[in-house]
Each structure stands twice: as C-alpha cells, then as structure tokens.
Amino acid sequence: MQASGNRLIGAAIERFEDLRFLRGQGTYVADIAREGALCAVIVRSAVAHGVIRGIDTAAARAMPGVHAVLTAADIGEKVPRIPLRLDGQDSYKPFEQPVIATGKVRYVGEPLAIVIADTQAIAEDAADTVNADIEVLPAVVEARDAAAGMVLLVEAAGSNSPASIEGVKGDAAAAFADAHYVRRERFRVHRHSAIPMEPRGLLAEWDSAGQRLTLFGAAKVPYHNRRLLAQLMGLAEDHVDLVENDVGGGFGVRGEFYPEDFLVPFAARRLGRPVRWIEDRRENLMATNHAREAECEIEIACDRDGRIRGLRANSIVNTGAYIRTTGSTPPRNIAQVLPGPYRIENVRSVVTIVVSNKTPSGTYRGPGRYEADFFRERMIELAARDLGIDPVEMRRRNLVLDADMPWPMPTVVPLNIPSECDSGDYSITLERCLEEFGWDEKAKLQGKLIDGVRHGIAIGCYLEGAGSGKESARLILQGDGRVMVNVGSSAIGQGVETIFRQIAGDLLDLPLERIAGVQHGSTGLVVDGGGAFSSRSTVMAGSAISLAAATFKASIRAAAAAKLGCAVGDVEIADGAVRGPGGRVVSFSEISAEVPPADGVYTSPKRTYSYGAHAAHIAVDTGTGGVKVLDYVAVEDVGRIVNPATLHGQCLGAIVQGLGGTLLEHLVYDAEGQFLSGSFADYLMPTASDFPRIDVHAMEMKPSPNNPLGAKGAGEGGIIPVGGLIANAVANAIGIDVFELPLSPERVWALAAAGR
C-alpha cells in the first residue's frame, strides 16, 4: 500500500464507539420500538431425545392476548433445514437442523413451538401451557458412546458420524518408523462457549404491500443470512433486508443462522405485525451454539535432539444434536493446525465428527485451534521432559523460521483445503516473550512450595489463521465534504468504526473529522459482504477500502479537473484539499454532486497467519485446588498494526476468555442429556478482578504479502494458547500430568491429592 503522510494507520486512537456505549446510548435490537409489535417466546423441549406424539397448544391459543402458537404443522409440508455455511459436504445433509422440531427432538432446548402475544409476560404464560407429548428415547451424550451407534439420532443415516476429516502432510508412517522417541497420550477439552453480554434478539417487520421483509438484530454474516432467509421463505433476495444494530459481543456464536432467524420472520409475515424475540440468559446458555468439546489420542515422534519428526492424531469431536452452520469448522481446524507454528514435516491428523443429545456446536473464538494447541503443547512439554531437553529449547529448535516461508500447512481432505503460512519468523516472538516475562529468574520457582502454594511456569507458541474470501466497501462523498465509509463487515466489538476511519482517512489523506462515519453490516450498504469471522475484518474490509479509495480519488480528480478546466493529471489531492494549477483549490463539498460512490471489492484465497508466544506463572493451592495467575505475558506479531489500542484490547480480552474457559467455564449434562449449567450460578464466568496481571506486547515485524495493508488477523490469537499453557504450568507446579480440561478447583485438587 502506498504510504500516506496522514499517519492515522498505526496511531493508538481511542474508539469512537465507546462514547455512546459508556453513556448508555447504544441502540441494541431490544431498544428498537415499533408500533403494534408483538412478543415471541420459544417453547423448547425438556426432553433430550424422543419421538413427538403431539403438541397440545389449545390452552395457549385460547389465552387473551395470544395471537398465534405455531408448530411444525403450521410451517408447511416440508419444514426447512439450515444448511452449513462453511466446509459443507453431502454427508452432513441428514444431520442439518430443522427450523423447528418435526418428528423427533434431539436435545434439551430444541424449539417445539413459537408463541406470539401482545406482551412478553402473556407469551411466557402461554408458553407454559403448551403440552408436548414426547415418547422418551435413550439419550447418548458422550462422544465415544455416540460413535458406537447403539442409539442413533438420525436412523436413516445409519450412523452418528456425519464425516471424518484428515489433515495430511508428508509421510507420517515413515517418520514414526525409525524415530528415536515416540509417545502417545489421550487428551480431552471440555464443552464451553462464548457467553456475550447481550443475548441474541430479533425484530421482524413484514410489508405486505411491497412483499418485503426487514429483520433487525443481524450480526456477523448478514449477507449470507439474507440469502438463506430469502431462500427458506421463498422471497427474492432483494426483498429481504437485514439490519445490524449495536451488538453486545459475538465471539463466533452470535450472528449465525439459528432456528429463530426463520421462526420470527415467519411469524411476522403470517400475522402481518412486527414480531420481537429477545433471548433470556437460560436460553442463551441452552440454545446458542456450544463449542470446544473434543478429545484426541496423539502421538509424537522425535529425534534424539528433540527435533519433531512427525505427529499422528485421532480426534473425536462431539458436535451436539445437529451440524449447524459452522459445526464442521472446528474439526477442520483441529485437523489442519495441529502442528501449529512448528516445522513438522509429517502429519496425519484424523478428526471424526459425531452427533449426540446435546446442544449443537459451532465456532467460538479460535475454533479448533484452542483445542489443537492444548493437545500439541502438552505433548511437546511431555516429550521435552522425557528427552531431558529444556522445554524452551525444545520449542526453539522446532519453530518455523523466516527462511521457511511460505510454510505449507497440512492439506484438509476430502475438502481439499490447502493453506500456507504467509510470512514470519516465529522465533522472534518466543525470544521477546522470554525477555518480557523474565523467564530465567521465574524458572527458578518451578515446582517450589512457597507460603503454602506451589509455583508453576510454562511457555507456549501458537499461530492464528485469518482473512480470506471476499469483502466490499463503498466510499460516499457527502454534500458537506465529508466521506462516509460503508463496509460489508460487521461490528461485534472489534472497534471497526474506529479502525476503518483510520484506514480511509490515511488513504484519502484526510483528518479523522473529515470521515463522517462508518456504516457496517446492514445489507443495504454495499452490494455484498463477507462479514466478521475468522479475524478477517481489518484484513478484508480494510483492503476493500484501499481499493475503493483508489477509485474514489480518481473520481475526485476528474470532477476537480472539470471544475477548474485543467487536465486530470494536473490535479493533486493532499492535506485534505484538492489543488489544481496555480494553487487553485476546490473543496470536496463543491464537487460532491459530481463524485459518484466508489466501490471496492477485495478477494483473496490466501489466509494470513499471525503468530506469538505466551508465558504464565501460576500458583496452585493444593489444599483447595485453586489456581491463581500471578503473571501472564503475551507477545504477538500481527504484520501491520492499524490501531495498537484496539489490538491490545482484543488480545487482552481473548486471554481472559481463554483463562475463563480453562479454569472456570463448563457446560455440563447428565447421563439423560439434561442440561445442568443453565445459569451463572452453575456456569462460572471470569470477572474483571480475576486475572489482573496480564501484559500484552504487539509487534509488526513481518507484514503479510497477501493483502495491500500488510495486516494479519489478530482477534483470536490471544485465546488459542491459553489452555495448553495453563495446563503445562499446573502440571509443572504439582508434578502430576494433566490430560483434561477444565482445570477447575475440584479437578486440580484431585490431581494434587493423587500425587501426595
């Protein structure tokens, strides 16, 4: 990208968004008022697995203020199913989720009916009277039991396994055949997920005269969801608008197409009235995508000096009752990123997906990467100990270096998805992390009992893949001479309103006050949009802005040349002004009517890969099992930094989420598939005071060659190494191997007690 004299890119500018949020002036979907709007409540199954014999809605329909109670019978002859958004295969189709239960229920929380009434209270009271007659079937909740197939969720499929995915590179069998050292272990990551501050919500409006549907509450991938919603409802795509309001967090789970995304608009069209649905916290915990649950039997082969010759793994992922829109993405990532940032030539990673009687799973910040990192980093720590090699040196000897770039990742089959690391010298972040952490001094505390607690130290490395596909941007010159920036990417807390102002201002050589604002996510803003997932917003939308800026400046020069009566080549845009021969100046506002909106569409099949290293110092109270994080240092190289302040916030927040998921959070079911974590009394979330000692350092040593900004995605990297890192630190503290997460006080106490 051509350098600008404005230097907004790289500046730690405070987020424009925060002022309205801190003042309570955000506009969330629950804040939108529509005259005559009705309230919807979803009736959900209390049975994990069973045959629906009937649903009695008579009492609910008879209640004053109730306008409708809709079940599968009201939807139509064929109840629509929700297809995968990413990594789809034909074998997944029998396992796609219907928009409402039909024939069977397969998890606690599956929608059975939708009640629409004048008020929320009436709708809730009516929902309580809906009686579902369900013949209970045996439930299967554990992945290996589901894989055995004694209980089938979809009988016609003949199996509970929609697919197996492999990550393949080199010849793993040959690498293991004559290796000096081989070790095999089994690890498990528990079920947990993102819990955004704002639960999901929707407000649907139907215009019967124009046969148009408007849906408020869009997030993450509104353009994809518009296409799907139009298809499922039999509407032309341009007759459906999805509107993105302020969003109280996303983290991968929010904004995917859920059953409610069909049911609420369907009810609005059926009744000819606006219909609002706001998820409560119990629904959020029960029905929004779960994540992470996976186990892995992994083998490592090493030379005598600790060089890793190969990795082999067989993993099984419990994806819950259905394959939702992104349900196959975490398994794909486990298969592909298992070797992480290490120079491992030979890999064979097989991942089997199974369905069970739990809430369906999807992507959650660092999907599959968090799990794979835990499996790999634990194995490296164990191998280093067995070989008598310092764990830091073991990692140092195996990291991918600058000379290795571009470094190929395993190819995912049968999807035939190759990928390669674009740029980087992975030793840079390791050495910086050791220095910032003060490794040499802290390592002296390893395993020591001091003041009744045992100290543990660990370091781990990771990479984060991001930023491919297609994204759009539009620049509009307003009558007041300011520029409006429209993007297809969504805002789910990343600070895009600030970041995209900086990019546009720099490229147009305008001060920030000349950028009128950033409009994002809603489907009427640009022709198409990819959305906000896989840490792609800055890379993809930022690059689209750069393409739009080139067209925009050409139009400004042409309009100014016509105004001044000179050649286009004689017009210069600099310092926020348009100048012609002889120093004559034309203001942006003077030519606003002659400058059309400029569109930029950026497409890239290649991903970017940021990378880093984290180190942790923890203390374990073996009497209670409590783990306290005493010091945590993170170093990452993200190519080009647009805003150091927002980047710091992203990494810090991701680390806290990772610590919460590693030490506290757990979505628990009993043997009958009953959900036991339906409130914050049972599902423990980290608070602001839990992890005060986190130090984050960002570098821009190796820009990406794959986009005009040189940027790399960095929204997920902070969470990826946390599980493996803390597990290694706890194991080092108590001298007992750790094979399973979470590291709750109960589990850590039991481990410590076993070692006494």
Number of H helices, E strands in the chain: 19, 32
Q: Which two tokens stand for residue 214?
A: 């408007």
Residue pair 268/252 in contact (Cβ under 8 Å)? The answer is no
Q: What is the DSSP letter of 313?
A: E
SS3 track for 175-202: HHHCCCEEEEEEEEECCECCCCCCCCEE
- Cα separation, 745 vs 627, in Å, equals 7
Domain topology for 32-137+194-287: Aldehyde Oxidoreductase; domain 3 (3.90.1170)
Buried b (16+ CB within 10 A) or exposed e, 61-88: eeeeebbbbbbbeebeeebbebbbbbbb
Which listed CATH number (4.10.95.10, 1.10.287.890, 3.30.365.10, 2.70.98.70) goes with 140-193+290-414?
3.30.365.10
- Per DSSP, the residues of 714-755 read -SSTTTTTHHHHHHHHHHHHHTS---BS---HHHHHHHHHHH
For the entire predicted model, the pTM comes to 0.96
Is residue 520 within 8 Å of 244, Cβ to Cβ? Answer: yes
Supply angle C-alpha 511, 516, 520, rounded to 5. Answer: 120
Backbone dihedral angles phi then psi of residue 164, each to the nearest 5 degrees: -120, 145
Distance CA 167, CA 350 (A): 7
Specify the DSSP element, H or E, that contains 134: strand 131-136
Using the structure block, give the residue that is written with the tokens 């423990």: 684
Q: What is the DSSP string of 493-511?
A: SS-HHHHHHHHHHHHHT--
Q: Where in the chain is the domain with CATH 3.30.365.10?
A: 17-27+468-604, 140-193+290-414, 426-462+609-756
Domain covering 426-462+609-756 assigned CATH 3.30.365.10 in the classification: yes
Instruction: For residue 232, give both structure tokens.
Output: 């499922």
Helices (H), 388-495: 391-398, 426-437, 439-442
- The CATH label, of 3.40.50.1820, 3.40.50.300, 3.20.20.70, 3.30.365.10, for the domain at 17-27+468-604 is 3.30.365.10
Distance of CA 722 to the CA centre of its chain: 16
Q: Is 493 helix (H, G, I), strand (E, B) or coil?
A: coil
Per-10-residue mean pLDDT, the chain, length 756: 66 95 95 97 98 98 98 95 93 97 98 98 98 98 97 97 97 96 98 97 97 98 98 97 96 97 98 98 98 98 98 98 97 97 98 98 98 98 98 98 97 91 97 98 97 97 93 97 97 95 95 96 94 94 97 97 96 89 93 97 96 98 97 98 96 97 98 98 93 96 96 96 98 97 97 84
Residue 732 contacts residue 634 (beta carbons within 8 Å): no
Q: Do the bridges between strand 275-278 and strand 38-44 make them parallel or antiparallel, or are there none, so unpaired? A: parallel
Nearest residue to 508 (alpha-carbon basis) of 541, 552, 471: 552
Q: Look at residue 3 in the predicted model and tell me its pLDDT.
A: 42
What pLDDT was estimated at residue 621? 97
Which residues contact residue 209 at a Cβ distance below 8 angstroms, ignoring those fewer than 6 apart? none
- Facing residues of 55 across strands? 132
Task: Delimit the CATH 3.90.1170.50 region(s) of the chain.
Answer: 32-137+194-287
The Cα 236–Cα 751 span in angstroms is 59
Helix (H) or strand (E) holding 350: strand 346-354
